[in-house]
Amino acid sequence: MKTYNVKSIKNKEISISGKGDNSIWQEANSLTDFSSPWDVEPVKKIEFKAIHNSEKIFFQFKVDDNETHIHPSEDKNESINNSDRVELFFKSDNSLNPYYCLEIDTTGRIMDFKAKPNREFDFNWNWPTQEIEVKSTIHKDYFIVEIAISIRSLKDLNLLKGGFIETGVYRAKYNQQQNNTFEPTWITWIHPKTETPDFHIFTSFGLLKLENK
């Protein structure tokens, strides 16, 4: 299983802006090992970083994209589900019973839900609002999404165990077709070894290892 080392900044403070401008990000490891195993076209660069202190884990996606897509539905979840976005899934074990999903579009809107095997999704569940923060910015050639999640909430959900978090790191890129519809390209850190795109499977998860935990 692939492992990403989440460096510790100990008791240093960090605030997220969605701009990638906090110098503390320079201390984080850079992960760019993303691909779309089901698509022959190469994907544009995605850089993922994570870092933690004693209270929170901080995540950052910097995604090369000069034409982001937001689906115009008035229903927030329907819109996010059909828009360019980044995703983090967390599981406590391979049973996926349950696992927790965060799907965040380029404007920083969150679609968070609790899931069980066979795509049984509970959209009435939400990550506790006081335990998560998201900010984002869209630029000419890229966008940034930053996420802060409390250590306490990860422990409460039985996701942080022995300094490890089993995590899926993904991206959905929506491309305009000749008929003006939009179709997704599914991009992942871990190839789940499936014939068709599927992130809702235990083989699509890697490990985040929290330094000094």
Please give the single-letter amino acid code of residue 78. E
pLDDT at residue number 40: 87
Average pLDDT, the chain: 96
**pTM as predicted:** 0.96
Which two three-digit tokens encode residue 83? 């828009």
Coil, helix or strand for 155? helix
CA 142/CA 7 separation, integer angstroms: 25
Which two three-digit tokens encode residue 48? 């993922």
pLDDT at residue number 38: 96
Q: Are 134 and 103 a contacting pair, CB within 8 Å?
A: no
The pLDDT tens digits of the residues spanning 179-191 come to: 989 999 999 999 9
Residue with tokens 């696992």: 99
pLDDT at residue number 36: 96
The pLDDT tens digits of the residues spanning 27-73 come to: 999 999 999 999 988 899 999 999 999 999 999 999 999 999 999 99
Check pLDDT > 80 for residue 11.
no
Check pLDDT > 90 for residue 1.
no
Check pLDDT > 80 for residue 213.
no
pLDDT at residue number 10: 81
